[in-house]
Amino acid sequence: MGQQAAIAKATGKPALMLAVPIHNANTATGSNQVVGVLTLAMHLVDLSEHVTKLRIGATGFAFLLDETGKVIAHHQQDYATGGADFSKHPAFAGRSATGKTQLVYEHDGRKAVAYVQTTQNGWALVTQQDYSEAYAPIQAANSRALMILVATLVVVTLIAYLTAYGLSRPIRNLTKIAEELSHGRTVMNITEVARRDEIGALAAAIDRMGVSIQLAMERLKAKAVKPPG
C-alpha cells in the first residue's frame, strides 16, 4: 500500500491518499500484471483544525509534516495550502525515526525549543515555543530560590552575630571582673549573676570568689593593725 499527503486541488485542504495496486493474475503464464490502482482519498480537516488551533503560551504553536517534510497542517495557512517544503527545517532534520525528540534551535532569529513526535507512517508532529518563554517558569523558580537562599543566609548570619555577641559580651565583662579581683579591687555588682545559664553559674562562682577574697583581705588587714601581744 502506498500513501501520500497532498493538498486537494478542489478544496485546497490537506488530504491523505492511500493506494493499492490491482493485479491480473495469469495462471497460464504465471505472471502477476498490474492492471490498475485503487485509490482512497480523505480530507484531514479535523486533524488540521486541531493542529492549527493549538497554541502554547504566547509563542508556541504546532505543525504537521509528512514523511518527506511537506507541510500538512500549519497555523500559517499559506504553508499548508501551498504544501511548503520543511524538509530542511531543524525540527524535521533532527527528528528520530520513531518516538519523541526534544530539539533546541534558532527560529526567526530567536532560540526555540521543540518536541517532535514521529508517527508510525513517518509523519512528524512538531510543537515549538520560544526558549525564553518555555523556560520562564524554571528561571522564575530559580530566581525565587536564589532570593530565598540569600534571605536565609542574611537571617542566619544576623542570628549568629546576635548569638555570638550575646555570649561574648558577658564573658568579656566577667573577664574584666576577674582581672579587677586579681588586683585586689572589689566589684560590687555582677549583673550576669541573674542569668539562668552556664554564664550565670560562672558569674555566681566569680561573685563568691570575690566575697571570699574580700573577707580574706579584711582578715589580713585586721591582723596587720592588731598590736603585737
Cell numbers at residue 96, please? 528520530
| CA 8 to chain CA mean position, Å | 45
Q: Residue 154's pLDDT band (boundaries 50, 70, 90)?
A: very high
Q: Is the pLDDT of residue 69 over 80?
A: yes
So what's the pLDDT on residue 45? 65
Helix (H), strand (E), coil (C) string for 34-88? EEEEEEEEEECHHHHHHHHHCEECCCEEEEEECCCCEEEECCCHHHHHCCCECCC
The model's pLDDT over 179-209, given as tens digits with 9 standing for 90+, comes to: 877 777 766 677 777 788 888 888 888 888 8
- Does pTM top 0.85 for this prediction? no
Q: What structural domains does the chain harbor?
A: 2-134 (3.30.450.20), 138-225 (1.10.8.500)
Q: Is the pLDDT of residue 118 over 80?
A: yes
